[in-house]
Amino acid sequence: MASFRLSSQAHAPKKDTRSSTPLETFSNICLILINRQVAQPSGGSKMNVQAEPGMAALAAIKANYSLTPEQRQIVDHVDRVAREILHPLQEKMDAEEWWPEDLFRQMGELGLLGITAPEELGGSGQNEFTQALVSETISKWNPAVGLSHGAHDNLCLNNILRNGSDEQVRKYVPGLCSGELVGALGLTEPGAGSDALGSMATGAVRDGNDYVINGSKIYITNGPIADVILVYAKTDKAKGAKGISAFIVETDNPGFKVAQKLDKMGFRGSPTGELVFEDCRVPASAMIGAENSGVSVVMSGLDLERAMVASVCVGMAERALELALDYARIREQFGKPIASFQMVQSKLAEIYIEVETARAFGYRALAACVGLPKGAGGRGEIHKLTAAACLYAGEAFNKAVTEACHIHGGSGYMQDTEINRLYRANKLLEIGAGTSEVRKIIIAEELLRA
């Protein structure tokens, strides 16, 4: 299979013939209104508002919502690949909890991995916004692949790229970009969910030039198939959350094992497992950053993860809308398509609103994530914004897929239908990356701190 990288070199310039999105149309209308705006002072005289400041302000707004020509080309490529290659795998992956053995290598060959990695390391050299567009598009056509792709490309690869040493980056990133290595992240534990840092029991003790890790992690996406896992462990339990360190653990290390592969309600093709570390010895060079500095890696990574989860929600909600539209057009009752009934039309309109508002909020958060400095995040505006976008998108997808499933009637209740697979998957997106309640706590704390 031919190699393809999502980079500027991979795309010949071409005229953008796609029609404007609703957000772009809205922005253009706003531009007209701003340029026509006239203020009315109390004295009755007219004061013309200069057009240039208005246009500059709106250009900044549009930059948050409009895709560049290169991003459009990337989305077109990923959409075609996901529709033609990944979508046909969806039914078997769900029914059998099956993950194709060579799928990560295939994704590497197709340029779907290493989106944020530099081209000299085998990546595409794109930013986090573009990475989210790729994740959104993959998730639309195969949610299970989208989930595993995000754990690999964002939670593992991008975290190593942002926080690892030059030696660590050179050692692991090329293999993660090609799909020769499969990545995962190990944070959640049997006794540490929403309080992942404070309740963390997994520990790492220094022993000469090594650290010895003991503990377990659970609900780890890609855990059963991973080659490289970014693992968090307490190196100073007396310091609590400030005594956590991050390690790159190779799964062929003695003392590491997959305790079990977990049976999920949704995203069933994406392998999820419980991992156990029993005197698992790793070299001190496997630590990311300094000892006890893992909390900054965790928190900045969670902010980016929440922005990515918002995009996953948008992609899946968009697919739910497409399925609902298709079904409403072909399903006939009382001698006519159900799409002709106003109650069904109302549901379709509401789904569309959920999709587009979640997209707008998600893009706003993603724009803020671009260029996030190393160690930044976990506090302030970006912490609040990504939590809010993730919260809104998760709830919007829940509403959208529930209405879409309802439009399908009895067929939507059958497990072998695509809309049912989307419906079963949606709950995770209000739990993973921090529950809806945790997201609200973050928002409120940052508002009150300001």
Residues known to be catalytic:
305
By DSSP bridging, strand 38-39 and strand 287-288 are: unpaired
Nearest in space to 397 (alpha carbons), one of 339, 304, 315, 324:
315
**Residue 107 CB neighbour total at 10 angstroms:** 24
Q: Do residues 355 and 322 touch, judged by C-beta distance below 8 A?
A: no
Sign, CA torsion 324/330/334/339 = positive
Nearest in space to 432 (alpha carbons), one of 133, 218, 128:
218
